[in-house]
A = this chain, B = another copy of it.
């Protein structure tokens, strides 16, 4: 059973295809995750099936409205999607933005590795 194994070679200069004009705005996505409540919601949705606003409000110490606002923030950057189902509105996790963040962090780390290499080479020279 293939489980969508993620293996990446981050120190790769020639990032041709995937990294085309991907100068995306990652800051808003980071910001969306920069809140404990929102992180909890994300973990919760990434852990199972879609849930309604009322369901997601349970376990929180917040109002439904507050949770709604948080969900809107998450939806605004694509971390969750919503679909109406009867009288409720179900939110489901979407892994794509988080994967992009992961790739971005890899990119920055690889830049750092390269910088260290250059520095080391310079010193050894």
Contact = CB atoms under 8 A, between A and B. Distances in A.
Interface of A: 1, 3-11, 25-36, 38-39, 42-43, 46-49, 93, 95, 98-99, 101-102, 105-106, 108-109, 111-113, 115, 117-119
Nearest to A28: B34
Nearest to A46: B112
A113 B7 contact: no
Total copies of this chain within the assembly: 2
Contacts of A101: 101, 105
Contacts of A31: 30-31, 34-35
> Which of A7, A31, A33, A99 is most buried by chain B, counting CB atoms within 10 A of its CB?
A33
Q: Which of A8, A11, A27 has the most CB of B within 10 A?
A: A27
Contacts of A26: 33, 39
B117 A109 contact: no
A118 to B, nearest CB: 8
Given A3-B11, A10-B6, A34-B30, A95 B119 contact: no
